[in-house]
Amino acid sequence: MTDLNRLTLSEARDRLRAKETTSVELTEACLSAIDAADALGAFVHKTPEIALERARAADERLAQGDAPAMCGLPIGIKDLFCTKGVDSQAASRILEGFKPEYESTVSQKLQDAGAVMLGKLNMDEFAMGSSNETSCYGNAVNPWRRGNDDTALTPGGSSGGSASAVAADLCLAATGTDTGGSIRQPAAFTGIVGIKPTYGRCSRWGIVAFASSLDQAGPMTKTVRDAAIMLETMCGHDAKDSTSADIPVPDFESMLTGDIKGKVIGIPREYRMDGMPEEIEMLWADGTAMLRDAGAEIRDITLPHTKYALPAYYVIAPAEASSNLARYDGVRYGHRAKLAQGDGITEMYEKTRAEGFGHEVQRRVMVGTYVLSAGFYDAYYNRARKVRTLIKRDFEQVFADGIDAILTPATPSAAFGLGEMNDADPVQMYLNDVFTVTVNLAGLPGISVPAGLDAKGLPLGLQLIGRPWEEGDLLNTAYALERAAGFVAKPDKWW
Amino acid sequence: MSIDLETAAKVAKLARIKVEEDALAALASEFNTILGFIEQLNEVDVDGIEPMTSVTPQRLKRREDVVTDGNMQDKILSNAPDAREGFFAVPKVVE
C-alpha cells in the first residue's frame, strides 16, 4: 500500500483496528516522506529509531486489542516540548545540545496513548514570531505556492514546522503551541486545522515557557475529527501545572454530529479591518452563509476592546517572557559564551544571552524588562492587565447574551513570502495575530478551519471562538463548517 | 515617551544582554516603534478595573508541604555547560 502518510488520524486508526495496516508501515511511510522533504525545513531533529521502536510496541498493543485512539499513529512534536533524551531547544541557539531528562506532560500523554514520535519540528525561536523566520535552524517553508510562482512562502508561525509537516503529509498530525495565534495562523496559512483549547485544558509542564498566562498546547491536524481525537489525548489535569484545570475531559469525537441547528453564531463588527483583502471579506461572508444554511442563527455582535488586544499583548507577553527567559543564564543548561580573561559572572550572563538569543527574542526580552521596570510598571504592565480584563469582559458579555460561538477570519491575509517582511517594522509582523490574540488574552478556545483558496491558489482559514471549556461544542461547529466548506485541496508536490 | 540611547543601554543591562555601543541607536528606534504602538492603551478608560491575575477563575490547587522529588543530582547536572564535583561551575563571584 502506498501513501500511508497521506492518511488522516481517524483513517489510520480505523485501518489499524481493522488490521489493514500496521504502525510500522505507517511510520516507515512517514519517515520516507520526511527524508524526501528536507527542502521544507519542517523536521529539525529526526528520531527514526525511537519512532520504529514505538511503532513496534504500538503494533503489539494493537494485536492485544488494547488500543487507545492515538495508538500507533505517527506524529511530529514541536521543538518547544521537552522530550526525554531528544534535543529540545525551542529553535534557539541558547538551548543548543539540551537533552531534557524528562518528558513534557502533553507529549507523555501522547506517548502513553501509543502515539509514535517521528521527530521535532521547526518553529520560531521561543515561539516568538509569525513566520518561522526567527528559528536558529533556518526557515520552515510552506508546501503551498502561488500557482506556478516558485517564491518560497512562510508556513506561518510560530508552529511553522508543524503546519508545514502536516500540510505536506510528512506526519499524520503534530503538536503545536499558541500564545497569540501560533497554532491557528500557521494552520490557516497551510490549509489544515489547528485548535487552541481553553487556557488550563492542556498542561504546560515541560513545554518551554514563553508567556505563561497565555501559552496553550493544541493539535494541528488534517481534519476537525482528527483535532477532536488528538486534543482529547493531550488534555487533562496535571498536578505539575498549577493552572491546569481539574475538570473532566469529554469524548470530543463523539460530539461531532454536524448538527448546529439553533446554535447562535456571533459576527463581531470590530474584526472588519480597514484594508482587509476582499478575498478575506468574501470568505468570511461565505462561512457565515454556510453556518446559516446549516441551521445556525447569525447575530451581529460587538467586542468593543478588540483594537486594544494587540497592544495589550505586546506588553503582557514580553513582560512574562522577560521573566521566563531569565533562566537562560549559561549556568544550568545550553549555551555558555567563551569568556575573556578577567570576565566575571555578569559578563558571562550578558555575553551568553547576546550570543544565544536571536534578534526578535532579545528585543522582546528587553521590551518586557522595560515595561516591568521601576516607574513604568503601572503605566504599561498594570494598564495592559486592566485592558485584558476588559477584553475578557467583552466576550463574557456576548456569551451571556446567548452567543454559542464567534466566527472571524483566522488571518488578515494568505501566506506571504519568506523575507517579504524583512524591511517592515516589528509591529507590521505583529499584525498577523490581530484576529487570534484576543482569544489568548481571554483564555478561550479557538479553532482555525480551512475554508477556501485565494485567487493565487493559497489556502485561507476561518476561526471559530467558543465558550470556555466547551471545546466539544466548538469542534462540532467547526465540523459543520468543514463539511459545508468542503476544502479538499492539497499543495502540489515540488519538494 | 521616547527611549534615548542611555535608556536603551540601561534596559539592555537590566536584561543582562550585551548590546554593542553601535547597535544602541537601532535598538532605541525599535523600542520607540513598539512603545508607540503600545501607547494606544492610554485611550482606554480603565478606572475601577481590576488588573487580570488569572484568566480562568480558579483557585490554585494546594498540596501537602512535603518533598515530592529529589535525589537526582546527576540528572540535574547532565546538561550543565560546566559541572564539577557535583556543582554548577561559574566564574569567580567573590574576590
User: Residue A10 sits in a domain of what CATH number?
Assistant: 3.90.1300.10
User: Does the pLDDT of residue A2 top 70, yes or no?
Assistant: no
**Residues of A designated as active site:** 78, 158, 182
For β-strands A116-121 and A173-178, DSSP reports them as: unpaired
User: Does the pLDDT of residue A373 top 80, yes or no?
Assistant: yes
Chain A, residues 305-364, CB within 8 A of chain B, namely 305, 307-308, 310-312, 314-315, 322, 326, 329-336, 339, 343-351, 353-354, 357, 362-363
Among candidate residues A328, A381, A345, A413, the one with its CA nearest the CA of residue A93: A328
Over residues A380-405, the mean pLDDT reads 98
With respect to residue A403, please indicate whether it lies within any of the assigned structural domains: no
Q: What residues form DSSP beta bridges with A61?
A: none
Question: Is the backbone of residue A62 left (phi > 0), alpha (psi -120 to 50) or beta?
Answer: alpha
- Mean pLDDT, chain A, rounded, equals 97
With respect to residue A182, please indicate whether it lies within any of the assigned structural domains: yes
User: Does the pLDDT of residue B1 top 60, yes or no?
Assistant: no
What's the pLDDT tens digit per position in B46-74? 999 999 999 988 788 888 999 989 999 99
- Nearest residue, CB atoms, A314 vs list B17, B34, B46: B34
With respect to residue A473, please indicate whether it lies within any of the assigned structural domains: no
Over residues A37-59, the mean pLDDT reads 98
- The answer to whether A55 and A24 are in contact (CB under 8 A) is yes
Indicate the domain borders of chain B. Answer: 5-41
Smallest Cα distance from A54 to chain B, Å = 24
Q: Round to whole Å and give the CA distance between B54 and B59.
A: 9
Q: Quick one: pLDDT band at residue A79, thresholds 50, 70, 90?
A: very high
Domain enclosing residue A124, as ranges: 4-257
With respect to residue A33, please indicate whether it lies within any of the assigned structural domains: yes
- Nearest residue, CB atoms, A392 vs list B30, B55, B61: B55
Chain B, residues 47-86, CB within 8 A of chain A, namely 49-56, 58, 60-61, 63, 72, 75-76, 78-82
* Cell representation of residue A293: 444554511
Over residues A298-324, the mean pLDDT reads 97
> What pLDDT sits at residue A1?
46
Over residues A259-284, the mean pLDDT reads 94
Q: Do A98 and B41 touch (CB under 8 A)?
A: no
Percentage of residues in chain A with pLDDT exceeding 70? 100
What's the pLDDT tens digit per position in A195-224? 999 999 999 999 999 999 999 999 999 999
Contacts with B54 from chain A: Cβ below 8 Å? 213, 243
B26 contacts chain A (CB < 8 A): no
Percentage of residues in chain A with pLDDT exceeding 90? 95
With respect to residue A127, please indicate whether it lies within any of the assigned structural domains: yes
Contacts with A426 from chain B: Cβ below 8 Å? 30, 33-34
* Cell representation of residue B10: 540601561
Angle A9-A11-A17 (CA atoms, 0-180°, nearest 5)? Answer: 100
Among candidate residues A400, A408, A428, the one with its CA nearest the CA of residue A477: A408
> What pLDDT sits at residue B58?
78
> What pLDDT sits at residue A335?
97
- Kindly list the distances between the CA atom of residue A121 and the CA atoms of A138, A434, B34, in Å, as whole numbers in the listed order: 12, 25, 30
> What pLDDT sits at residue A431?
87
Asked whether the whole model's pTM tops 0.90, one would answer yes
With respect to residue A45, please indicate whether it lies within any of the assigned structural domains: yes
Q: Do B90 and A348 touch (CB under 8 A)?
A: yes
Residue in A closest to B27 by C-alpha = A363
Q: With residue B87 as reference, give the H or E element that holds it.
A: strand B87-88
Among candidate residues A467, A7, A484, A71, the one with its CA nearest the CA of residue A287: A484
What's the pLDDT tens digit per position in A460-485? 999 999 999 999 999 999 999 999 99
Q: Do B27 and A383 touch (CB under 8 A)?
A: no
With respect to residue A96, please indicate whether it lies within any of the assigned structural domains: yes
CA dihedral A472, A196, A242, B54 (to 10 degrees): -100
Q: Do B79 and A380 touch (CB under 8 A)?
A: no
With respect to residue A54, please indicate whether it lies within any of the assigned structural domains: yes
Q: Do B58 and A245 touch (CB under 8 A)?
A: yes
What's the pLDDT tens digit per position in B12-37? 999 999 999 999 999 999 999 999 99
Provide the domain count of chain A.
1
Among candidate residues A375, A451, A367, the one with its CA nearest the CA of residue A408: A451
